[in-house]
């Protein structure tokens, strides 16, 4: 069972993750920040429950996670994270870092189309790998 860290520690971890962002995170943030994607407000490295989501649009209940090579071996923990986000009412999109770097337009279109779809949020996870 994963230990739930105190909020202060999660906030400190989120700040560290924002400061030490990967190239893919920086690239996607460039397009998501300042409501650039159809006016949707995204936050990055957001503490949600015991986890820190890479990106979240709170108003639309959407989490966007970026996965690097280390996630090939971490499929089970990633599934658990996804289930926790979904149980909190979030839709979850996952992308590989190299897709963000090489197919940014397609990644943004997938996010845009997910934001435009209304309806039930539960069990609406999409993996783009």
Instruction: Give a yes or no: residue 119 inside a domain.
Output: yes
pLDDT digits (tens, 9 = 90+) for 9-56: 766 765 665 677 889 999 999 999 999 999 999 999 998 888 889 999
Give the Cα separation of 100 and 121 in Å (integer): 24
The answer to whether position 87 is within a domain reads yes
Is there a domain that residue 28 lies in?
A: yes
Question: Collapsing DSSP states into helix, strand and coil, what is residue 98?
Answer: helix
Residue 33 Cα distances to 30, 38, 88, angstroms: 6, 11, 23
Residue 118 has pLDDT above 60, yes or no: no
pTM of the model: 0.78
- Cα end-to-end distance, the chain, whole Å: 27
Number of domains in the chain: 1
Dihedral (CA of 43, 73, 81, 107) sign: positive
Domain enclosing residue 24, as ranges: 7-128
């Amino acid at each position: 069972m994963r230990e739930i860290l105190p909020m202060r520690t999660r906030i400190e971890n989120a700040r560290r993750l924002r400061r030490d962002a990967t190239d893919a995170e920086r690239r996607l943030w460039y397009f998501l920040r300042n409501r650039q994607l159809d006016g949707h407000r995204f936050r990055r490295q957001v503490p949600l429950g015991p986890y820190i989501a890479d990106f979240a649009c709170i108003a639309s209940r959407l989490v966007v996670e970026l996965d690097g090579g280390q996630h090939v071996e971490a499929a089970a923990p990633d599934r658990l994270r996804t289930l926790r986000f979904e149980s909190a009412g979030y839709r979850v999109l996952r992308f590989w870092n190299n897709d963000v770097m090489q197919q940014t337009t397609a990644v943004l279109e997938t996010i845009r189309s997910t934001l435009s779809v209304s309806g039930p949020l539960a069990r609406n996870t999409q993996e783009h790998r």
